[in-house]
């Protein structure tokens, strides 16, 4: 099973989703990418480390770096559907409209709260996806 988590910058949400999916389904092929890759956001690394998942070695990748023949599910995580990249891959598509914590302005503590909320929302969605895939294999 190949899963691709997709956002525009591949710096926060998709990286967190990749980290969670890898930790919950280590035998799966899991990737993250974006159409305009940026830099891995340090707060994404920090909040994932808080839950014991190390994404510090991840890097932002372009959608062009991912082999489409290895992808069965594409999950977009952009909060604005117009901003979500649309790959040409033949794959099941899911959309999780999750707010970008990197767009939060305010104090460092307010930003950390936003990153933690996003992390927890992504965790719930990834858990549901992993369980659904396990159920479909067992059926």
Residues marked active site are found at 7, 78, 84
Strand partners, 7: 34
Contact indicator for 32, 61 with CB cutoff of 8 Å: yes
| CA–CA separation, 11 and 8 (whole Å) | 8
Name every residue whose Cβ is closer than 8 Å to that of residue 69 and which is 6 or more positions away in sequence: none
State the DSSP string of 95-107.
Answer: E-----GGG--S-
């Amino acid at each position: 099973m190949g899963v691709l988590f997709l956002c525009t910058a591949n710096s926060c949400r998709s990286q967190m989703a990749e980290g969670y999916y890898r930790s919950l389904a280590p035998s799966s092929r899991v990737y993250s990418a974006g159409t305009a890759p940026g830099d891995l956001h340090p707060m994404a690394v920090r909040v994932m480390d808080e839950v014991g998942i190390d994404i510090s070695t991840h890097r932002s990748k372009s959608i062009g770096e991912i082999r489409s023949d290895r992808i069965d599910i594409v999950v977009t995580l952009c909060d604005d559907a117009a901003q979500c990249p649309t790959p040409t891959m033949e794959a099941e598509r899911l959309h999780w409209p999750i707010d970008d914590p990197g767009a939060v302005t305010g104090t460092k503590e307010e930003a950390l709260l936003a990153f933690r909320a996003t992390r927890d929302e992504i965790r719930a969605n990834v858990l549901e996806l992993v369980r659904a895939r396990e159920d479909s294999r067992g059926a």
